[in-house]
Amino acid sequence: MNRTRIGTLIVGGAVIVCIVFVVALLLVKWLWAWTIPDLFPGAVAQGLVAKTISWFTAMKVALFLAFLSALVGKKQ
């Protein structure tokens, strides 16, 4: 394989990883806005739970869920 082909594969892989990351954040934000107000309407009305979350918070939730998934999927 020549260097141009390897570079193209690396850049393409990085682009795919970025797209998957953004889609995951969109999914977390959408699911939060869709489910949390229905599950906890009183807490949202009182301001105890956020109705929507920021991109940074969505990233933290996604990382937390990935960590939990890794723990559950880990065989002992």
Selection from 66, 52, 53, 54 nearest residue 21 by Cα: 66
* Per-residue three-class SS string for 58-76: HHHHHHHHHHHHHHHHCCC
Give domain limits for the chain: 22-73
Q: Are 28 and 61 in contact (CB under 8 A)?
A: yes
pTM above 0.85, yes or no: no
pLDDT-derived band of residue 75, with 50, 70 and 90 as boundaries?
low
* CA–CA separation, 16 and 5 (whole Å): 16
* CA–CA separation, 25 and 31 (whole Å): 10
pLDDT at 53 (0 to 100): 95
The per-residue pLDDT for range 33-50, each reduced to its tens digit, is 999 999 999 999 999 999
The per-residue pLDDT for range 53-66, each reduced to its tens digit, is 999 999 999 999 98
Distance in Å from the first CA to the final CA of the chain: 40
